[in-house]
Structure 1
Amino acid sequence: MNYVAPTALLTINGAIAEVCLNRPKALNAINVEMAIALRDIFAELAQNTEVRAVILRGEGRVFMAGGDLNYFREASDKHAAAEALIGPIHDAVSLMAGLPQIVIACLHGAVAGAGMSLAMAADLAVAEQGTVFNMAYAKVGNSPDCSGSWSLPRIVGVRRALEIALLSDDVSAEQAMSLGLINRHVDKGQHEIEAKKLAERIVASSPAAMTNIKKLMRQSYDNNLSQQLDAEAEAFATTATGEDFSEAIEAFFERRKPVFRGL
């Protein structure tokens, strides 16, 4: 099954989907067309019960160089232009964060501006050696979008987040790994292989467990302890009635790997 748009591609192979940013000549900079395509793709994936993991990658030399500055340069009404772009891309980010599937950002080259924000909004991230991260917004006289100001302080802390955003210095893949911006730092050319391995591990796990873990972690910042305990109790009790939980218990006592079927 394939969904094709000029600026974004969705390919589904079994339980793994791949979302490809497809403006390589523009370094995958986001324009309105790409923003709408990503919104529609993530909306479609939200309804797909067969897909269990999503790999987000960029075509060409980089993951994403940020927003399309030429779009703003040519706009006579920059406020209207900003609204036309930010509306659908923010919808896309919100949809991606809320997907029942686990989203893995597969990163290479430049990961800048909105590209860095988008990468941080994914659930897991893999980057090859030589990948360079830069918030970049300050360099163009503006502030973060695409949830960058939400994700960055939660990952690295407020003081470090301010440094990264205010100074817009390059962050190497090695530094990104030490800061927790990525989960895996791999050799050149190995990022897609590693992302696929992670996706396959997710697919081999209990779907309910993966979905509930993601949901609980993401809502934890908005809950107090009592609310989070209630959410954990509800999720655990509901999942405990499924066949996958029973299979996992039997496999534990039989000293074998469980075979999850999503039931």
Structure 2
Amino acid sequence: MSEGYQRIRFGVEEGVATLVLANPKKRNAFDPEMRVEMCEVVRQVQSDPAIRALVLTGDGEHFCSGGDLGNIAASGLDNAGWRRRLGSLHDWLKDLMQLDKPVIAAVDGAAYGAGFSLALAADFIIASTRARFAMSFIRVGVVPDCAAFYTLPRIVGVHRARELMLSGREVPAQEALALGIASELVAPEALQARAQAIARSFVGASPVALSLIKRSLSLAATDLASLLEQEANAQALAMGTPEHREAVRCFLEKKPMPFQWPEA
């Protein structure tokens, strides 16, 4: 893992980047320093073509407990100050959500408040059996942030998102799987290995196809005509890539395909 960061750890191995929230004494709570460091890393991941996937996880037995309430209380910001601070957070979050590479969140323990929102910004949530999620914002008199109003209803539907946001209740791992929040559940000791295995599988996938799939999915709420236009443009690009030609060759010659989802 690379040096020079105070609130995170970051490393790249065999095409897979791993970003670890590293403030375990506070259950990896967000603070401004962590946000700045994560912003830097996300831009590095985006700009480096050798990086093919990103694993996002937390140090210790928790993913992220949300915003650092002590830091928030001591900030002394007025309404305009909070607006500016959240604006800078949104800039970084959009970079993460618009990464053209798969993002896998490996969630153990608590994913509360902004920690839950952060996990929802990933393409996959692989959760341990002791993971627990909560839109806990209402408990401290604020509204969900970090794009939760966008991501959560798209996963669980507006009615269930309303219930989770207004109650702030805890969602255990099994319910998270049933609701579609978590893609898989694994034992805590197997969590990191499973997340890394999924990330490594994308090293064999077409980066162009991955990027086009993610961009097209971001338009899923638009009108049908616009989505079909995007589909046609994306498929035309994907058909011209060497990865597509290689995959077709392997298929026709009955050889192992370059990209294969790893069995759980």
CA distance in 2, matches of 1:51, 1:4: 20
CA distance in 1, matches of 2:150, 2:169: 19
Q: What residue is the counterpart of 1:10 in the other structure?
A: 10
CA distance in 1, matches of 2:171, 2:2: 35
Q: Secondary structure of 2:57's partner?
A: strand
* Distance change >3 Å, CA 259–CA 160, structure 1 → 2: closer
Deviations 1:12-51 (A, max 9, x none): 1121000111111111111111111111111221111110
* Distance change >3 Å, CA 175–CA 147, structure 1 → 2: same
Q: Which runs of 4+ in 1 moved over 4 A?
A: none
Which range moved further: 33-42 or 116-125?
33-42
Q: What residue is the counterpart of 2:44 in the other structure?
A: 44
Task: Confirm or deny: 8 A CA contact 1:36 1:88 kept in the other structure.
Answer: no
Task: Confirm or deny: 8 A CA contact 1:35 1:85 kept in the other structure.
Answer: no
CA distance in 2, matches of 1:26, 1:44: 26
CA distance in 2, matches of 1:26, 1:126: 22
Q: What residue is the counterpart of 1:118 in the other structure?
A: 118
CA distance in 2, matches of 1:232, 1:31: 39
Deviations 1:172-205 (A, max 9, x none): 0100000000111111221111101111111222
Mind listing any 5+ residue stretches in structure 2 that lack a counterpart?
260-264
CA distance in 2, matches of 1:251, 1:76: 61
Task: Confirm or deny: 8 A CA contact 2:205 2:243 kept in the other structure.
Answer: no
Q: What residue is the counterpart of 2:248 in the other structure?
A: 249
Q: Secondary structure of 2:105's partner?
A: strand
CA distance in 1, matches of 2:78, 2:59: 28
Q: Secondary structure of 1:70's partner?
A: helix
Amino acid at match of 2:130: G
Q: Secondary structure of 2:82's partner?
A: helix
Alignment RMSD (CA, Å): 1.6
Mind listing any 5+ residue stretches in structure 1 that lack a counterpart?
none
* Distance change >3 Å, CA 242–CA 77, structure 1 → 2: closer
CA distance in 2, matches of 1:179, 1:20: 26
1:73-222 to structure 2, matched below 5 A, reads 73-79=73-79, 82-83=82-83, 85-221=85-221
CA distance in 2, matches of 1:122, 1:77: 30
Q: What residue is the counterpart of 2:262 in the other structure?
A: none
TM-score (norm: length of structure 1): 0.93
Deviations 1:80-102 (A, max 9, x none): 55345423332221101111110
TM-score (norm: length of structure 2): 0.93
Amino acid at match of 2:168: S
* Distance change >3 Å, CA 9–CA 78, structure 1 → 2: farther
CA distance in 2, matches of 1:193, 1:259: 21
CA distance in 2, matches of 1:20, 1:83: 27
Deviations 1:228-250 (A, max 9, x none): 11111111111111211111112
Amino acid at match of 1:228: L
Deviations 1:33-84 (A, max 9, x none): 1111111111221111110100000112210000010012223334355345
CA distance in 2, matches of 1:88, 1:190: 35
CA distance in 1, matches of 2:81, 2:67: 12
CA distance in 1, matches of 2:77, 2:53: 39
CA distance in 1, matches of 2:249, 2:77: 63
Q: Secondary structure of 1:212's partner?
A: helix
Q: What residue is the counterpart of 1:65 in the other structure?
A: 65
CA distance in 2, matches of 1:158, 1:109: 26
Identity over aligned pairs, percent: 32
